[in-house]
Amino acid sequence: MPGPGAGRKVVLSQVSAVNVRPHIDAAPRQRHRVGSAVRAYVALCKPRIVELLLVTAVPTLFLAYRGFPSLLVTAVVVAGGALAAGSANALNCYIDRDIDVIMRRTSRRPLAVHTVSPRSALAFGLTLAVVSVALFAAATNLLAAGLTLAAIAYYVVIYTMLLKRHTSQSTLWGGVCGAAPVPIAWAAATGSLSWAAALLFLVIFFWQPPHFWALAIKYREDYRRAGIPMLPVVAPVRRVLAESVAYSWLMVAASLALWHWGGPVYEAAAALLGAAFLYEVHRLYRASRRDAGSGGGLVTMRLFHLSLVYLTLLFAAVAAGALVR
């Protein structure tokens, strides 16, 4: 038979279990909350856009160094560039939080679903900006730091606040920010700028309209609901594709003009990739002339995905050409 203290022991063990279990259960919940917060802040930075910017910055270092770049400078360009792009994107999310809720494509962003408060997003974006500029200034030079600060300010003030909601050409002039990693990387490597950096800048600048308009055509109803006068919202698809053709030719011309610095390997790749891109954009334009509705939706998304492949392979050729030479 149980002793006289057995009942008390059972009660004490039950009380202990009740007291301990919440602490055991709280640990996974705490880790989940921390993980969710980290994912939300990473999402504010728009990591896919950050990756694309680094795809252009790192090969630029190979060209600037005419071979393998300094590991320190490469690390600074990757880390500082990611922080700067993340800063600009987070501040963009802060400013655009009212329209992100309306648009289907952006309705799951952290500020739209209230996983991050506006005040926290603003503080986060400004902190990343300060750290990125300071990193470039301390580890490379003031020219790279100044260009980084200018790129962040341009994206936040000029593009997001002044252009995006007021002109159909915001995508074109917003391309300045998308192309900024090239001169920043070149300046970080050399302390100066050059015609080669200018031509690579122009490649990305002219690449931006056909790339993003292909996406905007699919989501033009989103932009219309949000009151954003993107070109596919205010103009027929045929005109959008006609302008895409013009900018595509300028993009390919700028890429071919780099032959003196890129070398034969790069030039062959630029010619082949440019021909493929021009074929696709002309095909879409011809389709839009036959049928006004044929340029929408999934049809233009093929150009969107091709543009990503084009830019990635072109800058890989930049690096390969520098190594070969």
Which CATH number do you get for residue 165? 1.10.357.140
As a whole number of angstroms, the distance between CA 126 and CA 120 comes to 10
Residue 34: inside a domain: no
Whether 281 is covered by a domain: the verdict is: yes
The answer to the question of residue 33 being in a domain is: no
Q: By the 8 A CB rule, do 167 and 159 touch? A: no
Task: Report how far residue 314's alpha carbon sits from residue 306's, in angstroms, rounded to the nearest whole number.
Answer: 12
Total structural domains in the chain?
A: 1
In a domain, 23, yes or no: no
> Which residue segment(s) compose the domain that 176 sits in?
47-324
Are 223 and 233 in contact by the 8 Å Cβ rule? The answer is yes
First to last CA, the chain: 91
Whole-number Å distance between alpha carbons of 91 and 143: 23
Rg (CA), the chain: 25
The verdict on residue 14 lying in a domain is: no
CA-angle at 251, arms to 249 and 252, nearest 5°: 65
Residues 167 and 278: their CA atoms lie apart, in Å, by 26
Q: What is the per-residue pLDDT for 22?
A: 53
Domain annotation covers residue 116: yes
User: CB atoms < 10 A from the CB of 76, how many?
Assistant: 21
Angstrom distance (rounded) from CA 46 to CA 85: 9
φ and ψ at 83, to 5 degrees? -65, -40
In a domain, 7, yes or no: no
- pTM for the model stands at 0.87
Residue 234 lies in a domain: yes
**Residue 72 in 3-state DSSP?**
helix
For position 107, what pLDDT does the model report?
Answer: 87
CA angle 282, 222, 90 (to 5 degrees): 100
Long-range contacts of 175-179 (CB under 8 A, 24+ apart): 175/204, 175/205, 175/206, 175/207, 175/208, 175/209, 176/151, 176/205, 177/88, 177/151, 178/53, 178/204, 178/205, 178/208, 179/56, 179/203, 179/204, 179/205, 179/208
- pLDDT values of the chain reduced to their tens digit, one per residue, 325 residues: 455 555 455 444 554 544 555 555 566 666 667 778 889 899 999 888 888 888 999 999 999 999 999 999 999 999 999 999 999 999 999 999 999 999 888 888 999 999 999 999 999 999 999 999 999 999 999 999 999 999 999 999 999 999 999 999 999 999 999 999 999 999 999 999 999 999 999 999 999 999 999 999 989 999 999 999 999 999 999 999 999 999 999 999 999 999 999 999 999 999 999 999 999 999 999 988 776 544 444 478 899 999 999 999 999 999 999 998 7
